Structure 1
Amino acid sequence: MTGEERAPQEERGSPLGRYEPHDDATTDGATVHVVLRGLPVQVWLASREHHDDLMREYRLLALAGDLEAHHAPARLVELVEILGQRYAAAASRRDEELEAALAAGLAVIDQESDVTPAAVGAVRELRRLMAESDRFCEEAQLLTLPRPPVVRDFGEWFLDEFERQLEGHAPTPWDGPLTP
């Protein structure tokens, strides 16, 4: 999808979705052009589905209320507050781009985004939150299954690319499997 005229980020959604910082006071309007080269469409779909399942579970736990009364670990209670309440609202994301790639039968695409430099903090926070969520999934403290290894590797690559490129480094293409 490179070479196309880029729509403004707010019109096509952020690849960071609900985690994209929205505090315009911290930026001067500057953005960094981030390119995800060789983004594997099927793995991206599996990653999105796992993330949606996890967020749905966090939202349900947040709605259930007093987790401490059910002896939930303190950090799980905090994650429910962060992911089930603070980040619970749906946000614009790049679903239309994924759906178009799937419909066209593409195995990989290049995804381009203009992201504010402040997003590096959101990327680091999301990495930490996902690692903690993985641990709770692995310990069966959540109903959501752990991320399969390729989905976990994809998530790390995805976040690494944002962090690296926001720090001024060149894109590194995905070199893992094209299917989950």
Structure 2
Amino acid sequence: MLAHRAVAFAPEPASVRRARSAVSDTVRAAGMDEDTVDTAALLVSELVTNAVVHARSEVGVTVTVAGDSVLVEVADHSPHLPVQRTYEDEAATTGRGLGLVEVLAADSGVRQVEGHGKVVWFTLGPPGPTAARFPGGLPAADPRPPRPDTGATAAEPPDLTVLLASLPIALYCTFQEHAAALLREYQLTVLDQGGTAGGAAADEAAAGGEALSLLSEASADVFALRDSGRAAVDHRVPLPRAAVPRFATLHSVLDEAVELAADGRLLAPPSQPEIRALRNWCLQEVLRQAEGAAPVPWRLPDVSLYSTRRRRADWDDSAVRTSPQALVAADDANRILAVSEAAARLLGWEVDDLVGQRLVCIIPPRLHELHIAGFVRFLLSGQRRILGKPVPLTALRKDGSEVQVLITIEQQPAPPGRTVLVASMEPIGSPLA
């Protein structure tokens, strides 16, 4: 063994940086190359972040270097095993920690420790049996004090199966990804506040996170249908009855996170009205059906009840307004910022009547949910594959008629940290007079 170090950290965001530094220093001092040092630092950062956000307990980190192999273990007091999200690899901005470990580590795993919680571990180095490379290294010593014995726990009430009827597949997948991003940032924000109020808010967020994890665990089949072309599915979600109150907590926590996002205090975009409506329906269905009510199928409500409340992006719209091309510009709140005269004529509107409206006003109603899902998915991921490529789409004119257009989207920055999308439109076939 070249090096071994065990450190305990408090459940606070600063612990991620401290754990990263401790692991980096130990691995580097043992003579490992910088690529190994960087990979170990990256993966321990992901695992400690998960422990800080979800476990809300002291976090123990051990790092062992033996020969040309590195073993890192992250322990916490939560008995809940980590769940790898089903979000697509390129698009997800959250839930990717376990995916990174799986891709970059030589080996990895998780074990429960009776009376302690769990330990998530990974190794770096040449392939081969982990036990052979770390004789006596698994399991490593747990740096945390034993958890107090609270006595026997009562048996959980019977399980519950919630039916989410006519669930819109694309919108639901985006709701899950967006909610996870909001919740993760919100948890780190309230942890940074410190004090009694910050700790209570973090505990509430952790409880809400458990509810979201239960939805995620049951959602693999829905995500598998995301790109199948199927619009909706009747989705059954098995839940322990003891977890039902956490769905009400998740509702209130996400409301607070959305307000912070609308004020620009989180990196995640604020909820679009359609996603907020779906989230409310999903969580209310859990609470209603837990009380014995019959399932109510999803139906998009009047989303004018949900305000995005985000201020207009600070952006120079003169190039769009004066362009001879048919151009429409919208910000990351899905709000139209500018329209050229050619675009207004194509869509049958006056320029001033379009500016300030949501983009969905020029999209046929049957495509609203798909548009919102794709729009938020882009904002969350920053994926570039939709940019600069002509795509045939259907646009809605003011009189209710439709026009087929070839649309090409470009992205432009708008300080501070905002995004503007500019779309050029060419009618397919004979241009409209």
State the TM-score bracket (shorter-chain normalisation): 0.5 to 0.7
- TM-score normalised by the chain length of structure 2: 0.31
Higher strand share: 2
The residue number in structure 2 matching 1:47 is: 175
Indicate whether 1:169 and 2:297 are aligned: no
- Shift of the 127–166 alpha-carbon distance from structure 1 to 2, 3 Å rule, reads same
8 Å CA contact 2:164, 2:282 repeated in 1? yes
**Is residue 118 from structure 1 mapped to residue 242 from structure 2 by the alignment?**
yes
Tell me which residue corresponds to 2:156: 27
Greater per-residue helix proportion: 1
The structure-2 alpha-carbon separation of the partners of 1:82 and 1:117, relative to structure 1 and needing over 3 Å to count, comes to closer
**Alpha-carbon separation, structure 2, partners of 1:122 and 1:159:** 10
The residue that corresponds to 1:159 in the other structure is 283
CA 1:44–1:58: 2 relative to 1, 3 Å: same
Larger deviation: 47-56 or 130-139? 47-56
Letter aligned with residue 275 of structure 2:
V
Q: Determine if contact 1:107/1:178 at 8 Å carries over to the other structure.
A: no
Instruction: Classify 1:85/1:156 alpha carbon distance in 2 versus 1 (closer, same or farther; 3 Å).
Output: closer
Structure number with larger C-alpha Rg: 2
- Give the match for residue 205 of structure 2: 83
CA RMSD after TM alignment: 3.3
CA contact (8 A) 1:61 1:84 kept: no
Q: Does 1:96 pair with 2:220?
A: yes
| Alpha-carbon displacement from aligned partner over 1:6-44 (angstroms, at most 9, x marks no partner) | xxxxxxx9xxxxxxxxxx73524x122210001101111
| Displacement of 1:51 | 1.6
One-letter code aligned to 1:145: P
Q: Secondary structure of the residue that 1:146 maps to in structure 2?
A: coil
Q: Distance in 1 between matches of 2:269 and 2:174?
A: 13
Aligned to 2:272: 148
Higher RCO structure, 1 or 2 (CA under 8 Å, sep 6+) = 1
Q: Verify the 8 A CA contact 2:208 2:247 in the aligned structure 1.
A: no
**Is the counterpart of residue 135 in structure 1 residue 264 in structure 2?**
no
What is the alpha-carbon distance in structure 1 between the residues aligned to residue 249 and residue 207 of structure 2? 16
Structure-1-length-normalised TM-score: 0.67
- C-alpha separation between the residues in 1 aligned to 2:187 and 2:259? 18
Task: Supply the distance in 2 between the matched residues of 1:113 and 1:95 (Cα, whole angstroms).
Answer: 8
SS in 2 for 1:134: helix
Contact 1:60/1:84 (CA < 8 Å) preserved in 2? no
Shift of 1:131: 1.2
Code of the aligned partner of 2:252: R
Q: Identify if the C-alpha distance between structure 1 residues 115 and 105 changes in structure 2 by more than 3 Å, giving closer, same or farther.
A: same
What is the one-letter code of the residue matched to 1:83? A
- Tell me: CA distance 1:154–1:76, structure 2 relative to 1, closer, same or farther (3 Å): farther
Alpha-carbon distance between aligned partners in 2 of 1:143 and 1:121, rounded to the nearest angstrom: 28
Q: CA deviation at 1:105?
A: 2.1
Distance 1:102 1:40 in 2: 10
Provide the C-alpha distance between the structure 1 equivalents of 2:287 and 2:181, rounded to a whole number of angstroms. Answer: 25
In structure 2, the residue matched to 1:18 is none
Determine if contact 1:37/1:111 at 8 Å carries over to the other structure.
yes
**Please, which runs of 5 or more residues in structure 1 have no aligned partner?**
1-12, 14-23, 69-73
